Structure formats: structure tokens, C-alpha cells
Amino acid sequence: MSPNAKKTAQLSAAVAAIALVAGVAGYWIGQRGHRSQAPASQAARKILYWYDPMVPQERYDNPETLSSMGMKTIPKYADEESSSEASQGVTIDATARQNLGLRVVAAEIGTLPTSLTVTGTIDFNQRNVALVQARSSGFVTRVYLRAPGDVISAGAPIVDLQLPEWGGAQTEFLAVKRLGKPDLTAAARQRLKLMGMTDGLIAQVERSGRTNGTITITSPISGVIQSLDARAGGTLAQGQTLAQISGLGSVWLNAAVPEAQAGSIRNGQLATASLSAFPGEKFSGRVVAILPTAQVESRTLTVRIELTNRNGRLRPGMFASVELANGGGQALVVPSEAVLRTGTRTLVMLAQDNGRFRPAVVRTGREGGGKVEILQGLRPGEKIVASGQFLLDSEATLAGVVARPLEGDQ
């Protein structure tokens, strides 16, 4: 190789070495600059607080603090939270909505068919009770074959009484009648009526001209003998009760209604009873009273329902299932499954435009037929999530979304 060629080769090698060193240096500088820029960029982000995603409502100023769940906290950066957007809800794309199975419905004005099913027992109608008393002092001469618990018809004999005072009054009446003075006879007849004698008995005395101090006491109504305080040969005082009879033409059904639902019950409300003694048969009645005292042990109110008792089939002590129906009227309603109850407040998940969702506080009323009444917090036509809202609520909680408050609480 000539000296000139050798010199040229050495110069080329030197240039190549310089280029390689420059390239390596440039790459190293570039990588060093990239690494130095990342921490600088990270350091430039403003940290608002530290939190645990499991309990996002807890916020800490110290990154070394553990949350109430015992988890290490992570930073929340200012550029992660757009206050206007975060307060308006969370955004879910169409694919995610389909995967979650979200179903959106509109709040609407409709009829709320409500019915409440409770239990109760049959009892005597205490407004249909007859007391049989002695109108005058006397003696029991005969007791018919009666006992407490017997079912008797109206006009059935109970006891025969001998009343000496009636015999004396009838003797005086006959003596006055023989005087032939109509005004005195009318006065004497009125006195017999005031003593409790019937027109039939007085007419019999007039026709026969003989006194009759014995009277047969009969039942004034059909029903059950509750008590019988008469024995043959016994002495009776004026006004003493001989028997107490409860009618069976109608009965009471005393139903136990939870106090939380008693506010929807009204007098005159229709009720339908079912009894195991008569499978497949319904007995209709109406609410006649809501007793003012609650049962402390069961936290229930007693609702009294009157039922017609044809042929005496409904017997006191029988157990019944009662359905209390209420037409409900017009109300703003949503599906029951759309309502979230947290224990401290009641929420629905609003479906807004552009796939955005936000919780809203509502106040609910009656519930029935798979629907619940919204008293406050929603307007007719507003769209809410009826399924999948639990996941949305969790996402909104993690994102710190503020629920729309009730009007007046803002």
C-alpha cells in the first residue's frame, strides 16, 4: 500500500470513530433528558390529597397514612378532577353500558295499585250484643237447656221467672178496669208497660181477667250465649243480668298492620279475607275502625274489618289472611328496583346526555305492584337507571360525584 493510500484509510477510520462516539453521546444525552423530564413532569402535577379507592370519602394530607381499611393511600391530582364534570356525574361508553346491562326508564305519572297482605283473627262483633235482664225482682222457676257457648235463634226461650210485683200490678189494673173509667184504665195500662210487660201479656190479662206473674224470657237476637247467670230456684234483683248474647250476623276481623304501613289504611277501605277452613273462597268486608293504640311488642296497629257472616260459618278465633286494597290514585312512579336505599338516604341514578350518569336524592312514598311513588326529587319524564345502578353508584362514589340534592336542601 502506498503512503498516500494508507494515510487516507487512517483518516476515514478516525472520522468513523468520531461519528460513533457522537452518536452514542447523543443517545445517552437524549435518554438522560427524557428521564430527567419525567420526574419533572410528575413533580409539576399538583396533589390535592391522598385517598384509598376502597373508601374514597376519606381524605388524608400525609401519604404515609393508612386508610381505615388498612390500605396504603394513593395521590389524587388536581388535573384528574375537573370540578364541573365530576359534579355532573360519571361517563360510561355505549359498549360498557351494554356489558353492564343498563336499562333506562322514564319517571311517569301513573296509577299506583297498592295492596297490603297481613294476618288477623275472627272475633265477635261487639256492637251486636244483647243483654237479657230482669225487669223486676222475682224467682227463677225454670231454666231451659241452655249453657254458655250455645248458638240460639231469636225468640228462643231462656228462663221462666215468677215476678210477684207484676201479679200485684195486674190485680190493680183489673180492679181499675171494672170501675169503667177509661182514663184511669189507660193510666193503669201504661203503668204495666213501664214495668216491662208486653202488649201481648197485657191483652191476655184483659181478656182472661186473671193475673199472670210468670214470664218467659226469650233471646232478642240470634247468636251465641256468652254468659248465663240464672239457676232454677234462684232469686233475682231488679235489673240483674240473666244472659249476654253476641250476634253472629256479622263478625270482626282484627288484622295486625305494621305501623310503618298503617298510614295508608283508611276507614271504609275494602278488604278481602282468606281462611284455611274454606280454601279457594274469599270473604269481602270493609275497614270499620283503626284502633288508636299500637302493640309495643310487635309494633303493629289493629285494623278492625267487619265481615258479613252468612250461615254463621265464620267463627271467632279463626285465623285469616287479609288483603287490604287501595286504588292509590295518580302519582309519579318509578320501578321499585330503580331505588337505592343506603340507610341514610334514598337515591336513583339519573341518565343524562352523552352517556353521563349522576345520583339524585329522592323522597319516596307508597309502594305496590312493583312500583314506588316519588314524592320529591324527580320530575315527570326524567330518565333513570332501572338495572345496573349499583355499579354506577359505586363508580360515582369512587369519582367523588355529588348527588343531586332535594329541592330546598341545595
* Within a domain: 234: yes
Close Cβ partners of 394 (under 8 Å, ≥ 6 residues apart): none
The verdict on 89 and 36 lying in the same domain is no
Over range 311-328, report the average pLDDT.
86
Same-domain status, 189 and 224: yes
Q: Are residues 237 and 267 in the same domain?
A: no
Instruction: Tell me whether residue 159 is in a domain.
Output: yes
The reply to whether 408 falls in a domain is no
**Do the domain assignments include residue 409?**
no
pLDDT class of 327 with cuts at 50, 70, 90: low
280 conformational bin, left if phi > 0, alpha if psi -120 to 50, beta if neither:
left
Cβ atoms of 203 and 180 within 8 Å: the answer is no
Q: Which three cell numbers stand for residue 35?
A: 428521564
Q: What's the pLDDT score for residue 301?
A: 92
Please report the pLDDT score of residue 116 as a whole number: 81
**pLDDT over 70, % of the chain:** 82
Do 187 and 318 share a domain, yes or no? no
Which structural domain, as residue segments, surrounds residue 89? 83-111+330-398
Q: How far is CA 315 from CA 151, 269, 308, in A?
A: 11, 23, 12
At 83, is the pLDDT very low, low, confident or very high (cuts 50, 70, 90)?
very low
Q: Which helix (H) or strand (E) holds 333?
A: strand 330-335
Distance of alpha carbon 245 from its chain centroid, rounded? 37
- Higher pLDDT: 128 or 200? It is 128
CA-CA distance, 44 to 38, in Å (whole number)?
Answer: 10
Q: What is the mean pLDDT of residues 78-90?
A: 57
Average pLDDT across the chain, whole number: 81
Q: Which of 200, 215, 244 is the last residue of a domain?
A: 244
pLDDT of 128 reads 93
| Residues 337, 235 share a domain | no
Q: Say whether pLDDT at 304 is over 80.
A: yes
Q: Tell me, what's the pLDDT at 410?
A: 55
192: in domain: yes
Among the candidates 244, 275, 291, a domain finishes at 244
Q: Of 319, 289, 314, give the one whose Cα is nearest residue 302.
A: 289
Q: Give the domain CATH number at 302.
A: 2.40.30.170
What pLDDT band is residue 27 in, cutting at 50, 70 and 90?
very low
CA separation for the pair 355, 365 (Å, rounded): 29
- Answer with the residue of higher pLDDT: 243 or 213: 243
Query: Strand, coil or helix: what is 187?
Result: helix
Least confident of 196-200, 237-241, 344-348, 392-396: 392-396
- Tell me the mean pLDDT in the region 206-210: 85
Instruction: Name, in order, each residue with C-beta under 8 angstroms of 284's C-beta and a sequence gap of 6 or more.
Output: 270, 271, 272, 273, 307
Residue pLDDT, tens place only, 252-268:
999 999 887 787 788 98
| Residue 402's pLDDT band (cuts 50, 70, 90) | confident
What pLDDT, on the 0 to 100 scale, is given for residue 56? 66
Together in a domain, 138 and 239: yes
pLDDT on residue 32: 40
Judge if 179 and 138 occupy the same domain. Answer: yes
Helix (H, G, I), strand (E, B) or coil at 112: coil
Cell of 34: 427524557
**Residue 30 reports pLDDT greater than 50:** no
| Confidence (pLDDT) at 6 | 52
Strands 47-52 and 55-60, by their bridges, are antiparallel
Residue 18 confidence (pLDDT) = 43
> What mean pLDDT do residues 187-192 have?
89
Query: 306 and 340: one domain?
Result: no
Per residue in 52-63, pLDDT tens?
766 666 788 888
Q: For the segment 134-183, what is each residue's pLDDT rounded down to a tens digit?
A: 888 888 999 898 999 999 999 999 999 888 888 888 888 899 888 888 88
Total domains in the chain come to 5
Mean pLDDT of 19-34: 39
| Sequence letter at residue 219 | S
The rounded percent of the chain whose pLDDT value lies above 90 is 30
Say whether pLDDT at 125 is over 80. Answer: yes
pLDDT per residue as tens digits for the range 109-120 = 988 766 788 999
Last residue of a domain, one of 192, 210, 244: 244
> Is 155 part of a structural domain of the chain?
yes
Residues 121, 300: Cα–Cα separation, whole Å: 14
Q: What is the pLDDT of residue 124?
A: 95
According to the model, what pLDDT value does residue 120 have? 94
36 pLDDT above the threshold of 50 = no
- Does residue 297 have a pLDDT over 50? yes
Judgement on whether residues 66 and 146 belong to the same structural domain of the protein:
no
